[in-house]
Structures are given as C-alpha cells and as structure tokens.
Structure 1
Amino acid sequence: MSGHRAERPNVIVVFTDQQRWDSTGVHGNPLDLTPTFDRVARSGTHAVQAVTPQPVCAPARAAIQTGQYPTTTGCFRNGIPLPEDCRTLADHFGGAGYATGYIGKWHLSDTEPVPRDQRGGYQSWLGANVLEFTSDAYRVVVFDDDGEPVMLPGYRSDALFDAAIRFVGDHADPAGGSVDDKQAAEGQDGEERQPFFLFCSLIEPHHQNETDSYPAPTGYEERYQGRWLPPDLATLAAAEDTTVHRHIGGYYGQIRRVDEGFGRLLDALRSMDQLDNTIIAFTSDHGCHFKTRNSEYKRSCHDGSVRVPMALSGPGFDGGRRIDRPVSTIDLPPTLLDAAGLDVPPQMQGRSMLPLLAEPDGEAAADWPQEAFIQVSESVVGRAVRTSRWKYFVTAPDADPWHAASSDRYVEAELYDLDHDPYELDNLIGLPSHREIADELCERLLERMVEAGEEKPVIDRHPAGAMAGQRRVDPHVHGSSRAPRRFGHQPRRG
C-alpha cells in the first residue's frame, strides 16, 4: 500500500574513500564484491564513466560539497580547510528546510575535533576530520555535535552505517508513509514532514595510514587474497615498490563489507517505508592504483586513480538508465539539488545530469561537454581531460605541487587511447601519428581550464618520438573531443 509522501524527497549520499570503479560487478569485477551497488546501478541510474575532478581526498571532498573546482574554493590539496564563505550542499538543503546531517570522515578542517564553523553548515554532526587518524578498523572514534568523542561499536564501516540508520530512524516520517490519513503523515499543526539530507562519508577502502595496511573485517581478506586483478595492476604489480599483492585482499574485503552495510541501509529505508521517497547517491572521492603509477595510492591522471563508481536511485533516477559518457563527481551536487526541486546556484561549476536522463538526445545533452576535466595536485601540478576514448594529461615542471594551485606553463606528459588501451599501459604522447588528436585535446583542455576560472597557460608540445609502426589516427573518424556525431547529426558544441 502506498501512502502519502512529502513532496520533497529525502537525499542520502554514501561516499567511500579510494574505491576504484572496477571493484564493482557492473564494471566487470568477477568476485561479487558489490551485489548491492550493482543492483542499484542496474535498477536506478548508472553513471558508467564517472571520474573525480581531483584524485586527492580533501580537494575531491571540497568539490562534492560545493560543486566547484578545487582551484575555485582554494582547497587544491590536503590540509587546507574549506573557506567559511563557501556554500555547501548542507547550506542549500538546509536553507530549503531540510534537516541536514554528516556522518564520518570530513577532511576539510584544520583541527580535530572539527569546530562548528568548519562543518560546512551541517546541523547534525557525528564525524572526524581525518577518520583514519582517530580510529582503526575496530576502534571507531568520532565526535558529536558538541565536539565530544564518541566510540562507536563494531567494524568501522558497519559503525558508520549503523549511525546513518539511526539518523534515518530519527528523521523518518513517524507515520511510516503507509497510512491513508494525511494528517497522520504530517507533523504537528498539519505541517509537512521535514525531509532530510544525509551525507555518510566512509573511510573504507582507504588504507590505515600508520600501518600502511587495508584492515578488512576478520576473515574477509582471506576470501580475496591472490584472486582476480584488474589488468593494470596485474601488469604493473611486479615493480618492487608497488603494494598490489600485499594489499588487494584487504582492499577487496573492505569493499565487500561496505556493500553489505549499504544493503542494510537500504533495508532500513524500506522497513520505514522511506525507500521510494529517498534519492540515494553512491560514489567515491577517487580510486587507488597501489603505487603502480607513483609513490602514493592516487594523485595521478590514470583511471585507476580518477575513475570511480557512481549510481543513483529513487525519485527521478529509477528505471534502469545509464549515462554512458564522461561525467564528474562535481556534477553530483547540482544533480541532487535539481532532483529535489531546488534551484542550482550559478556559482556551481558542475552540471545537473538530469537533462541527460530526460532527453538523452536532446539539446541539453548535445551541449554537454564530451570530456571531464581533472586537476591533479601534491604529486605534480597537472591537468587532464578524459573523453570516452582519450585521456590527455599535462604537468607543470616548474611548479611546486604542494604550494602552487596552478601554473602558467605546462608540458604534455601522457596520452592514452581508452578504446584500445583501457588500462592505460601504452603512453602515446609525442607520437607523430597522434599529433592531431593531441592538439585537439590540448585546445579543449585550455578551454576547460579557463572555464574553471584558471588563467590560460602555455602548454608545450611533447618532443616528437619515432613513428610507431603503422599507427595513423584520423580524429574525425575515431572519436576526438570534437568528433561529429554519425548519421547526419550536427557536431556537438562544447
């Protein structure tokens, strides 16, 4: 029986840390790690080519809270608090009458516990700035509204999902939404039930910093150790300084337990008759390449570092739909506001994805950029664009990646053909056969940098290399950033 619903949906974001896209079954992982996520992706909306705008924790988190690029907020690396004048998802939902809550890792403050004025406007708080420093797998310490430490029982991701379920229970419609008496489904004095916006930010499958380990629940690491590896990790794991074989079992075990907790959250919503009236978004801040690309786990342009799982369900997203073009997690904030019927602020630099669902071949979809824009910091000062087929990356050799948010000069560093080399094992930059496509991608990258508010830099060409056998690329046939659509359609703008 379906009862009366509040006109405005609840909204929940489940946010993992350092989760690769290909840890999920819908992306081909054969180990059945994510049956809950896979079900949501298949029955809801699956953003197939989702990437982060910044493969570093704090910048990625600033972007998903504000819908702005890290160079816009100033949070271009870890250790820079989110400016108090930045408007967040909590500010926008709270201003529209939502009850807002944050649970888990924040990483946008400069102190622990996070003071109230650095919590991004969230009304209810149960979190830690750097959760991997205040807790470990079975000792979970967070801080409450008053900044007092709270120890949560259970394995860490379980403990945070338990807290999320308690939040939902505290804010769910007391009538359960299943009665026919409208007055019973409303608050006192006939007021509409207050909807809620909850951001549940997990630490898993991030490593435990002080031990450089991936502590899975008891018995879970053993299930997955020594089993399937993505081709990039399988190829690059032989290097002495990589940690693939040592850590993959724990990493996979963490992901499996997160997925089980995600399933419990959905079950709780269903039991309170709130599932059909709740928009749920699941994604991650960035991926993990296990030190196969640099001396860290992320901070590179490769899909192992920047590509993430993303699926949405609930009002506006059900029906088994796919967005099979590059989108960014910076597009999630405007999408959630739009789906809840709220205005998207003009200062947001992401775009609502709803037009891609409403009219996949419509004008708005035709105007959608054919590439995602990525900023990289800490390892290098870098910039990238990723189309469905190509990845183009430049770095600033004269810039200090810890102190410089951007540069006035970059040099071409990497180019990958994702159609034929999806795990980016063959760097094509500098090949004469790929000069034209590199030039087109360079032009588009410059445009995206300026659109993001950066000064237009100079990008130096990579020195030409030798011809690679019979390679020859016609970008207008094989899908550059500006390739015309087939069957007589006009080229897409942007």
Structure 2
Amino acid sequence: MPQSLRLTLTATAGLLFLALVAATAIGVGSSSAPVQVVHTSTTSRAPAADAPNVLVFLTDDMRKDDLSYLPNVRHLLAKRGMTFTQAQSPHPLCCPARAELMTAQYAQNNGVHHNAGRYGGWQAFDPSSTIATWAQDAGYATALHGKHLNHFDPDAPADAGWTNFDILLEPATDYENFTFFNGDSFTDDYVTTRLDQRTVADIDTWAGRRPFMIFANHVSPHIWFPASAKGDGDGDRGGRNPPAESAYAHALTGLTPKAFSAPSFNEADMRDKESIVRGRAKLDPRALQRLNLARIRSLLSVDEAVGHAVAELERTGELANTFIVFTSDNGYAVGEHRYTGKDRLSDEILDIPLVVRGPGIPAGTRSDRPVSLVDLTTTLAQLMSLTPTLTTDGESFAPTLRNPAMSGYRDTMLIQTGAKDPSVRFPGWAYRGVLTQRYAYGRRINNGPADGFLYDHEKDPYELKNLLTSSRYVAVRRELERRYRELADCSGSQCNRAFGPLPPPGR
C-alpha cells in the first residue's frame, strides 16, 4: 500500500477491500473472529420505497481545520455535498456530545453532563428513545460501530434500537488491543481498519434489501489509552499520542500545526482569563507538534474508511440515495490559550467539522448557518421521516441542505460543560453560556458572576481580550446573561428562539 494519500478509490480497490472483509468473516489469524450481527426485536412499520439511507462518520476530538488533510472527505463528500463553516459542539466532551447525537437533546434534558460521575457516562444515559429506536420503528436496519458513551456495562444488554450494536468495550481508546460488544477481540491490530471493515460489511448486507442507518464512530484522533495504562480515558492526561496505521507512519513528516499561526497559541497574557486557566504555564511547541502530527496520521486511516464506504455504496447502487455525514463529537485545542484538550468553551473546542453529502444537496456548496450536533440529529430525523418519541431540542437545517442561502430562525445557541461534583450549588454543571453570531459568553456558574468570559468575535476573532468586566460591554453582557437564563432549562422549540438584535457596545 503506498504511503502517499489516496485521493480516490477505484472500483478495483473497493472489490479488494470486500475480499478483505470476507477473509475477516471466515477468520484469518488468531486475532480474527466472525463479524456477527446483534439483533434486537422491535415492532416496525414498512419504510417508504424511497426512504434514504444514512451513514454518519463520527471522529473523536477532531478539529475543524483538520479537514484540509483528508482528501477523500474533501473530494468525495465536500466537493459533492455541503460544508458547514459554523458547526458547533455545544457541549464539547465525548459523552455529552454523543448523548446529544442520540437524542437531539441538550444535557439538561438527556441527563448526560460529563464522562463519569453521577451525571456522566453511559450510566446517566437513557437509551430507550433515540434516533436508533425511531429509525428501527420506521423499518430501518441500524448499526452502531465503535465508540459509544464511556463506562458501558459489558454485562448489560444491547441498547434499544440497534440491529447491530457493535460498540467497543472499555478501554474504548486502545487502538491496538480492543474488544467489541459481540465478543470479537483483537490483539496487535488497528481499530480503524476493523471499524472500516465492519461498516462496509453492513452496507453489503443491507443494500438493496432495506434502508439503513449506520453510525461509524471512530476512535481517531483521540489520545491513545492502551489497556495496560492507568485510568479510563476520561481526560487526556496520562495518555499517549495516537498511533498511526503502518501505511501512514511516515506521512506528512515535519507538519506544523495550524494552531501555531494563531495569536492565541501560548497566549502572551492570561491574566484576564477565567480562574481555572489564568495561571497556566506556556506549553512546549515540540510536544504539541508531535501530538498534532500523530492526530493527523491517525485521521488518514479514517479518511481511507470514508473512501471504502463510498466505493461500496456505489458498487451496491445505494450511493445516490444515501446521506453521508462527516463530523466530530467536539473540537480540540492544540496550545491555544495555553491549553490542550476539550471540555472548555473556547472557539477551537466548540468548532467541529461538518460535511453532508446526499440526494438533493447541491455539490460543492458551503453554508455559514450556525448549526450544532443537536440540530444534526433533528435534521436526520426529518430527512428520514422519523417520528421522535421524545421532545427534541434541535432546529432542523434540512431546508439549508437544499438551499445553502437558507438561514435558521435561532440567533442564540446554548453552550455548556458539565462537572462531576454533586455538592455544589448547581450540581452537574461547570461552564454555561451562549453563542451568537458575534459574541461568545459563559460563566463558571458555581463560582459567581465574575468568573467567566465575554468575547467580541467581530473585533477579536482569536478570543484574546476578555470583556466580561468591561464597562463598554455592560449592556451586551446583561442581555447575553438574560438569554442564557432563558435557555438554561429550555426544551424543544424553547431552545430555538430569535431574541433580536443585541445592544451595541458603549463608547
């Protein structure tokens, strides 16, 4: 296999990959086991004859600007679909983001605020009503491959709604030694390759037989937590840089992180930042360069998986009737504001890639409509003609997929992070605030009104000057706080309001 990036996959390559899937299915080597489908019973109606398929590629901790390194995503999806330039993860951490994707609800409604603790992980999640159950009720075959919510109980039954509940068991961030829910266990392997094969196998099984919805939840480019490492991967401390597949072990040598060119990288003056970060020391650029390169190399294998899936959809005649989504659970800081990781409300962490290709979507288009992961699930439910059995909080952007000039009604988006401590005034919460076209506002709500941030993106796109205590922005701050309070406990359409123009800054 050449080490250069593959821009497209030929039909021959697709057939060779199917042969590899077949070899896996009959068992090759000690680490191989049959790919089995875990069936769940359900009562479903017959789907419409023209019901579209849905294939979602979800990466883990991918930055929006990482898209530029993925040729298959750019050529097979973006150039043939729509790229959203202002897509957000409004609760930017693994479990809350994935719970949002399953339910189209914010954490105050789905109950998942963090990765662990009383308000976190799979234990805080109710899987009885999700996009999987709605799709299965509508006659869809459904599959969930790869990363799920943290701390899934391996002795628990499959979550409702999934025809193939094919999640990775803990530790779900081990790239080389891993086990799936059905018992398939692999040693000295590569997890992206196996997720690739299992996704293509489901397409092959269901194509031409029934509509399908597949979530391919990849581990990359998350920090690597080998099974032998201490901890469970809730945070990034203690992990290792993600390993690359052998084909990409030497790709892009010398790559400089895009974050290095931002004025926010190793920010010079942190005295105006919120209390939890203002005392941070500057980070080692050499270590961050190694981290960034490892992340991108791991993503090249996901890009290859996208190519394989598109080739299989084309081979089976399903490509024209399939919505393909490529996105991430959250963004990631690589040294901006002296920070590495997620679970904060800064721009590079909230921002995520979002590309959608499918029937009726004009090729090579872009939309600057602000959308979120909560909106994505609401949109998919509409495109699939599903009937949610809970109140969804998102605003569908299906009209924008037909016409990129279409904007949404909402002008203010709720953003937040959670916490594990149940003894504070607002248990389960850390940062809460709002995002508008111009402003980002948030507070550490258990620490009082002065511990937070207000950034004017029109004048300060890199979030260098915190205006929370600026006398010129008193009226702006008060209105943003009012909007946050209106949205803090929102549900359904209450979450998608047009508040109108904000007051201008004073002089």
TM-score range, shorter chain: 0.7 to 0.9
Instruction: Give the number of equivalent residue pairs.
Output: 409
SS of match in other structure, 1:143: coil
CA distance, structure 2, for counterparts of residue 413 and residue 377 of structure 1: 15
Task: Tell me which residue corresponds to 1:332.
Answer: 376
CA distance, structure 2, for counterparts of residue 226 and residue 322 of structure 1: 27
Task: Tell me which residue corresponds to 2:202.
Answer: 167
Match of 1:142 among 176, 180, 198: 180
Is the 1:221–1:252 contact (alpha carbons within 8 Å) kept by the matching residues of 2? no
Q: Considering only aligned residues, what root-mean-square deviation do their CA atoms show, in Å?
A: 2.9
Task: Tell me which residue corresponds to 2:274.
Answer: none
TM-score by length of 2: 0.73
Inter-CA distance 114–283: structure 2 relative to 1 (3 Å threshold): farther
Matches within 5 A, 1:66-81: 66-79=103-116, 80=121, 81=123
- 1:43 matched to 2:67? The reply is no
Is the 1:103–1:126 contact (alpha carbons within 8 Å) kept by the matching residues of 2? yes
Task: Tell me which residue corresponds to 2:131.
Answer: 89
Is the 2:331–2:352 contact (alpha carbons within 8 Å) kept by the matching residues of 1? yes
State the one-letter code of the partner of 2:256: R
Percent sequence identity is 27
Is the 1:61–1:285 contact (alpha carbons within 8 Å) kept by the matching residues of 2? yes
Task: Tell me which residue corresponds to 1:214.
Answer: 242
- Residues 461-492 of structure 1, C-alpha deviations (whole Å, 9 max, x = no match): xxxxxxxxxxxxxxxxxxx97339xxxxxxxx
Inter-CA distance 130–293: structure 2 relative to 1 (3 Å threshold): farther
Match of 1:418 among 449, 457, 461: 457
SS of match in other structure, 2:300: helix
Match of 1:430 among 454, 466, 469: 469
CA distance, structure 2, for counterparts of residue 110 and residue 139 of structure 1: 17
Q: Give the Å deviation of 1:308.
A: 0.5
SS of match in other structure, 1:223: coil
Q: Give the Å deviation of 1:63.
A: 0.7
Match of 1:8 among 22, 32, 51: 51
State the one-letter code of the partner of 1:158: T
Q: In terms of mean alpha carbon deviation, does 33-42 or 196-205 score higher?
A: 33-42
- Residues 90-143 of structure 1, C-alpha deviations (whole Å, 9 max, x = no match): 1000000111111101125542x26225x243121222244535x32x334323
Q: In terms of mean alpha carbon deviation, does 239-248 or 380-389 score higher?
A: 239-248
Is the 1:93–1:197 contact (alpha carbons within 8 Å) kept by the matching residues of 2? yes
Task: Tell me which residue corresponds to 2:412.
Answer: 371
SS of match in other structure, 2:481: helix
Q: Give the Å deviation of 1:205.
A: 0.5
Matches within 5 A, 1:73-472: 73-79=110-116, 80=121, 81-84=123-126, 86-111=128-153, 113=154, 115-117=156-158, 119-133=159-173, 135-136=174-175, 138-144=176-182, 148-151=183-186, 154-173=189-208, 193-209=209-225, 210=229, 211-218=239-246, 219-220=248-249, 223-230=252-259, 231-232=261-262, 235-236=265-266, 239-240=282-283, 243-290=287-334, 292-293=336-337, 297-345=341-389, 347-358=391-402, 365=407, 368-378=409-419, 381-398=430-447, 411=450, 413-452=452-491
Task: Tell me which residue corresponds to 1:482.
Answer: 500
CA distance, structure 2, for counterparts of residue 221 and residue 239 of structure 1: 28
- Structure 2: tracts of 5 or more residues without a match: 1-47, 230-238, 268-280, 421-428, 493-497, 503-507
Q: Give the Å deviation of 1:297.
A: 1.1
Task: Tell me which residue corresponds to 2:23.
Answer: none
Inter-CA distance 208–45: structure 2 relative to 1 (3 Å threshold): same
Task: Tell me which residue corresponds to 1:467.
Answer: none
Q: Give the Å deviation of 1:357.
A: 4.0
CA distance, structure 2, for counterparts of residue 305 and residue 355 of structure 1: 27
- Structure 1: tracts of 5 or more residues without a match: 26-32, 174-192, 399-408, 454-479, 485-494
Inter-CA distance 221–373: structure 2 relative to 1 (3 Å threshold): farther
CA distance, structure 1, for counterparts of residue 375 and residue 297 of structure 2: 29
State the one-letter code of the partner of 1:229: K
SS of match in other structure, 2:371: strand
Task: Tell me which residue corresponds to 1:23.
Answer: 66
Inter-CA distance 246–358: structure 2 relative to 1 (3 Å threshold): closer
CA distance, structure 1, for counterparts of residue 60 and residue 476 of structure 2: 33
